[in-house]
Amino acid sequence: MRSMARAAPAVVVLALSVRALADVPAAAPPKAPARIWSRGQTTWVYSEPKRTKNALGYVRLGQSLPLRAEAAVKAAGCSGLYYPVEPYGWVCQDRTASVDGDARWVRSMAAAAPRDGLMPFDFALSNGAPMYRRLPTRSEAQREESLFGKAGSYKPQSWGNRGHERLAETRGIGPSSALPWFLAGGGGAGEERPLEALRRQIPHGSMLAYTSSFDHEGRTYVLSADGTVVPADRVRPFRVSSFRGVELGKDTALPLAFFRAKPRPKYRRAGERFEPTGASFAARAWVGLDDATLAVEADGRRFLATREKSGADTVWVREDDATVLRPRDKLPVGVAPGSKWILHSITQGTLVAYEDTKAVFVTLASPGAGGVPVKGKDPVKMSTTPLGVYRITFKHRATTMSPEYGENRKFWIADVPYTQYFNAPFALHTAYWHEDFGEPMSAGCVNVSPLDGKWLFDWTSPVVPAGWGGSGPGGRHGAGTYVVIAR
């Protein structure tokens, strides 16, 4: 009887244990990743789960793409899996990509990644500055910055780089945000406690792209696009040019005139002569021309009637004050009928975007400082824009330009927005350091304003899908738009 009494509770306990286990929910399956992140300078997107020479495009460090519902696959050429990304394509999960968005390096560089909008970064001109892995101590800052002179001071640019400081301002940069989380307690973007503070130096005259500014121990620093921090008092921020070209439509059409380097007077007709009205067209302004009214010669000058009025009087301009753009009815040799194409005139300093023979956009653009190229002379060495008919071969939302490679370069222009290569190293791109559009200014590329650069980037092909850093032509992206460089 005693043994039976002892056995009964054991059965009850066992039954209770079974019921308790039944009430415990089963472990949830691992959640499928929603995005894949770039943790390398370039994470390539391929048309299929296969590593190929000509990728569709790429994702930039710190940015990510959403994944499609299709399953990841294992295939040759990838140490991990190939993940399907939106809106199309495949990314190899190798050392440049991660589905772990919480990793320190990925989260840190997301704070330094380009933003949406007109300008992907803020930009500044270096007066000679250090780039720190972590925030320096006072003694480290004194040691590393002693060779740059007094903070807040700057030297003139070299003769060849004087155009690079046209929009650089001497105003200070104030804090725009709180201290980035990864810099707290002596941390850096890639390490919790970097041993050395200094990563490298920005040479005097090179340019910096940054995403935010913040205060540390009474001094403002900026977060560079490469994850380093730079003292704000050793750079000069650039003012963003507001210049923009003209979208053409039913209310605005060719012919029209631009006034390039300086203001030009407006004229009224007084009998057989012309006299200034006292008003002027501003530098880089434009006006529509009345093509139905013949040009008039007076005092050895030709005058053109505009579509502008001063009271009841027609406003006239001197032809030699104006850069005139007229309609055309023929395509250049080498441009296929029905195509989009861009015409840049070196001597006029103009750029026109066409759809077949219909002009849809006109603006001022700066060619190479060397002017019209000379046959037999290297256009790179001569800083000239090469004549010819080309196609856009690759587009970048922002890319750094330099004549050198490697970590210890002596000069670079950081993250040039809306870069469209048509005959590498020559490209059509935004210039954030000057607004002398229409004048020869570049090392051979075609410079346009931020507003014009974005308009052209969105209009041309190949298409660059949302979230991608850049792409090449072919397939869904379309053939590269024609670029015609003429005298």
The answer to whether the bond into 276 is cis (omega within 30° of 0) is no
Give the residue from 103, 131, 160 where a domain finishes: 103
Nearest to 236 by CA among 201, 208, 266, 277: 208
Beta strands (DSSP E) in 74-178 are 82-84, 90-92, 97-98, 122-126, 129-132
* Residues 67 and 154 occupy one common structural domain: no
The enclosing domain of 52 has a CATH number of 2.30.30
115 within domain boundaries: no
Residue 33 Cα distances to 69, 110, 150, 167, angstroms: 10, 17, 50, 44
* Residues 223 and 263 occupy one common structural domain: no
* Residues 355 and 481 occupy one common structural domain: yes
* Residues 353 and 476 occupy one common structural domain: yes
Within a 13 Å sphere around the CA of 167, how many CA atoms are in the beta-carbon half? 20
pLDDT per residue as tens, the chain (487 positions): 434 343 444 444 334 344 444 565 565 565 678 999 999 989 999 999 999 989 999 999 999 999 999 999 999 999 999 999 999 999 999 999 999 999 999 999 999 999 999 999 999 999 999 999 999 999 999 999 999 999 999 888 887 788 899 999 999 999 999 999 999 999 999 999 999 999 999 999 999 999 999 999 999 999 999 999 999 999 999 999 999 999 999 889 999 999 999 999 999 999 999 999 999 999 999 999 999 999 999 999 999 999 999 999 999 999 999 999 999 999 999 999 999 999 999 999 999 999 999 999 999 999 999 999 999 999 999 999 999 999 999 999 999 999 888 777 889 999 999 999 999 999 999 999 999 999 999 999 999 999 999 999 999 999 999 999 999 999 999 999 999 999 9
* Residues 299 and 403 occupy one common structural domain: no
* Residues 85 and 140 occupy one common structural domain: no
pLDDT tens-digit map of 138-184: 999 999 999 999 999 988 888 778 889 999 999 999 999 999 999 99
Residue 456's H or E segment, with its range, is helix 450-459
The structural domain count of the chain equals 4
* Residues 349 and 464 occupy one common structural domain: yes
* Residues 434 and 362 occupy one common structural domain: yes
112 within domain boundaries: no
420 within domain boundaries: yes
224 within domain boundaries: yes
Nearest to 460 by CA among 393, 411, 374: 393
Q: What gap in Å lies between CA 80 and CA 172, rounded to an integer? A: 47
1 within domain boundaries: no
* Residues 417 and 479 occupy one common structural domain: yes
480 within domain boundaries: yes
Q: Which residues of 144-169 are buried (b: 16+ CB within 10 A; e: fewer)?
A: bbeebeeeeebeebeeeeebbbbbbe
* Residues 83 and 141 occupy one common structural domain: no
The enclosing domain of 479 has a CATH number of 2.40.440.10
15 within domain boundaries: no
* Residues 307 and 386 occupy one common structural domain: no
* Residues 298 and 419 occupy one common structural domain: no
Nearest to 155 by CA among 223, 240, 236: 236
Residue 257's H or E segment, with its range, is strand 256-258
Tokens of residue 312, six digits: 């009841």
Q: What is the residue range of 304's domain?
A: 255-325
DSSP state of 40: S
Single-letter residue type at 186: G
43 within domain boundaries: yes
pLDDT tens-digit map of 232-270: 999 999 999 999 999 999 889 999 999 999 999 999 999
Single-letter residue type at 130: P
